[in-house]
Homo-oligomer: A and B are copies of this chain.
Amino acid sequence: MAALTVHPDRLLPADPGVRSIARRLYQEVRDLPIISPHGHVDPRLILDDTPFVDPTSLFIQPDHYVTRLLHAGGIPLTDLGVGEGPLPETRAREAWRLFCANWPLLRGTPVRYWFESSLTEVFGVTERPSATTADALYDQIAEQLVRDSHRPRALLSRFDIAFLATTDDPADDLAAHRALRDDESIPTRIAPTFRPDRYLEVGRPGWPAIVKELGGDVGDYAGYLAALEERRRYFISLGAVSADHGHFDAGTEPLETREAERIYSSALAGTVTPREAVAFRRHMTFEMARMSCDDGLVMTLHPGIWRNHHPATLAAHGPDTGHDIPVALELTAALRPLLERFGTHPNLHLVLFTVDPDVYSREIAPLAGFYPAVYAGAPWWFLDNPSEIRHYQHAVTEIAGFSRMSGFIDDTRAFCSIPARHDMSRRLDAGFLATLVAEHRLDEDEALDTLTALVATQPREVFKL
């Protein structure tokens, strides 16, 4: 049986001279608290502090990074319990075996990195997953999951997470967040994030019912705006620092108020056309920026994804099951109306994400290198791997410097992977800065100052913590 070990120098540059600089830099930030300003952990997980049920429901079922790789390798999502709650032990164990037997499918991916970090550092695993070791590993993890030391709050504390943002529906009553806020035993600041997508996409099936969930008098456009503003205030009152927007494109062309009112009424009546719905959504993205200038919520933009590319999988297993596929992105024209109006507004922080890597140097860094409101969001979804992170580092900093970066965003629903993801980012940042030092482009004191900023202070500034 092969050993599973994580090397202290992993992900640092291979050149011995550069590596030794990187090691010194990494050392200084390795143990700093984690700031996670955007992610998908369920606040009830922390609130209820219920022990995790088994290795499969912890590591496999909810993590579309893992399940999509297995699915591509020919394993039906049904066999992995995707979209289901905890499985009966037989099925859970069978899914775990499938995963272990297919461990080689993860080679070369960051999923492998996150996974082996979690296994070794959280559960003390020392054997490589395989068909042979599957059952022993299952037992080894399961045995620990029932201990107090491995319940959610204990891990949250052990992971040293200083700030953790969740992602929430504007109609959510945020009861979990309210309870967490009042619980002084939790050292982590846990905040909701305002995610209004479905309320802005008026052409969705069932939208007239959806919009009513917002509360307030949404019978006309003015009431709708007021309801959104009210929900934002409520979120802010419970600690929210940002609003997240994930539409197909990044359009922000505003409409005349009269036209917005007209489309809104059509939408309520169920007669809106697809073209009108798109125009309205772009108008509302502009309005969201306006509200952010008013109330201070940081605005994060996650455009350029074809959501749920495989309808049969959506129908069988729900959304977020690994087939949100990128499309070509355009920001320069799409964001111009928003930036013309708000690009120098002192209250606006607009963090731009992309899954089209050409856009980092073509559009995001140039925009962030001029507009004080714009920040270059860290690599996201498929791009959150060492290769694309290195591309982002170069592409953004050489055009816009380090100060326009958002700092790392883990964006994950895989709780145990949070420290590994941040650790990967710190190692890669240290390696990148070490290269600049080795090429005599930065002095080492500047590199250390920059690295500390990226890990500790910049996320706080960008997300107004």
Contact = CB atoms under 8 A, between A and B. Distances in A.
A183 interface: no
A163 to B, nearest CB: 23
A10 to B, nearest CB: 4
A108 B339 contact: no
Interface in A142-164: none
A166 to B, nearest CB: 25
Interface in A346-382: 355-358, 361-363, 365-372, 374, 382
Given A107-B446, A361-B388, A398-B387, A344 B403 contact: no
Contacts of A14: 13, 15, 17-18, 435, 438-439
A284 interface: no
Interface stretch (A84-92, A274-282, A323-331): A323-331
A311 B340 CA distance: 7
Contacts of A365: 382
Contacts of A397: 107-109
Given A12-B439, A362-B357, A306 B107 contact: no
24 contacts: A2-B445, A6-B440, A11-B440, A14-B17, A14-B18, A14-B435, A16-B17, A68-B369, A69-B369, A69-B401, A72-B368, A72-B370, A72-B374, A107-B401, A108-B450, A112-B441, A309-B370, A310-B371, A326-B366, A327-B362, A357-B361, A369-B382, A387-B395, A388-B398
Interface in A297-317: 306, 309-312
Given A10-B440, A340-B310, A356-B358, A322 B108 contact: no
B398 A363 contact: no
A323 to B, nearest CB: 5
Given A362-B355, A363-B326, A440-B9, A106 B16 contact: no
Interface string A375-406: 00000001101111000001101111111100
A464 to B, nearest CB: 14
Q: So how many copies of this chain end up in the complex? A: 3
Given A366-B382, A369-B72, A108 B361 contact: no
A223 interface: no
Contact of A401 (B6, B105, B336): B105
Contacts of A15: 14-15
A357 B402 CA distance: 20
Given A68-B369, A357-B358, A386-B441, 14 more contacts: A9-B440, A14-B435, A16-B17, A72-B401, A105-B403, A107-B397, A107-B401, A309-B367, A310-B370, A327-B333, A328-B362, A356-B362, A357-B362, A365-B382
Interface string A205-219: 000000000000000
A237 B4 CA distance: 48
